[in-house]
Amino acid sequence: MSDSIDIISMGECLIELSTDESMKYAEVFHKYFGGDTLNTMVAAARMGSKVGYITKIGNDSFKDYLIDAINSEDINTSYIKLVEGTNGLYMLSRQKSGKKEFAYYRKKSAATSLSIDDIDDEYIEQASIVYATGITQSLSNSSKNAVHKMFSIAKEKQCKVAYDPNYRPLLWSADEGKESLNDIIEYVDIIFLSDKLDGEKLLGISSPDKLIKHFWDLGVQIVVVKMSDYGSTIGYNGEIRFIPAYNVETVDVTGAGDAYNGGFLHGIVSGYNPFEAAALAAVVAGLQVQGLGAIRSIPNRKDVMSILEKKS
């Protein structure tokens, strides 16, 4: 199909305000943008994938900034709607001591009004992969239903479905996270998991091998278990293989898992097998943590491929 898109995702676009001081004493915050699925789409786009994003942007003072920022990443914005309301915001403190502080302000933001009406069958059919997360589901009941509809259409149209529970205790309970995972697992072809947050908190399983076998039994083809800066364990086609992290000096790990997912999905749509895609994703995430900010530090294709060529 001439209008095909490699990856389509849905979620929230947030304003990021960051500082290297404590929240208590900070007087200046630096503005950027982020959101877990958007971070992933930017990573895939910078690697060269053709990506599309579904969201709603509030008609507030940040709207022009957000729209321009997304357009600058060469992301298809055909299904981004401008609506009345405000945009979500998160504040982040990264201190020299290593301490981090988060604060979210996203209740009743524009993205919480995402619904099944925002999912277009023909648009989803253009994708090779559709991707969403538990954070997208956590926005509202209507957004949870939208993820379910997007995944069900994708499965019907034979598009691959990728999902990351991305459980965050600040956003919802473990029971809610597990319920949302169970709601869509029948559609999922590729699942990304944090061994600590998703494995232990949602399922009570900390072993990567046991997590992989658990989801294989549920019919998931590709299982990716991310283990922070240690590496990742991939399960595919009956084989389990450990892929080491690309070890570098870490400055900021915000959004590193999202960047990894973007690199991995780019690898899959580019014809890599899952183990090769994981090696590529490790470099994307390894370069991303060398800079500040979830999106601003995501590397480009040239830098990633240069490292991969040296390693081969």
Nearest to 130 by CA among 166, 165, 164, 159: 159
d(CA 147, CA 143): 6
Higher pLDDT, 177 or 252: 177
- Whether residue 2 is predicted with pLDDT greater than 60 in this model: the reply is no
Nearest to 243 by CA among 196, 189, 282: 282
Q: pLDDT per residue over 155-212, tens digit each?
A: 999 999 999 999 999 888 999 999 999 999 999 999 999 999 999 999 999 899 999 9
pTM listed for this prediction:
0.95
Give the model's pLDDT for residue 1.
40
Q: How many of the other CB atoms lie within 10 Å of CB of 1?
A: 6
Mean pLDDT of the chain: 94
d(CA 49, CA 43): 9
- Whether residue 268 is predicted with pLDDT greater than 70 in this model: the reply is yes
Give the model's pLDDT for residue 35.
94
Residues 44-70 have a mean pLDDT of: 97
- Whether residue 30 is predicted with pLDDT greater than 50 in this model: the reply is yes
Q: What percent of the chain has pLDDT over 90?
A: 80
Between 8-22, 164-178, 287-301, the lowest mean confidence (pLDDT) is in 287-301
Give the model's pLDDT for residue 84.
95
Phi-psi region of 98 (alpha: psi -120 to 50; beta: other; left: phi over 0): left
Give the model's pLDDT for residue 301.
95
Give the model's pLDDT for residue 198.
96
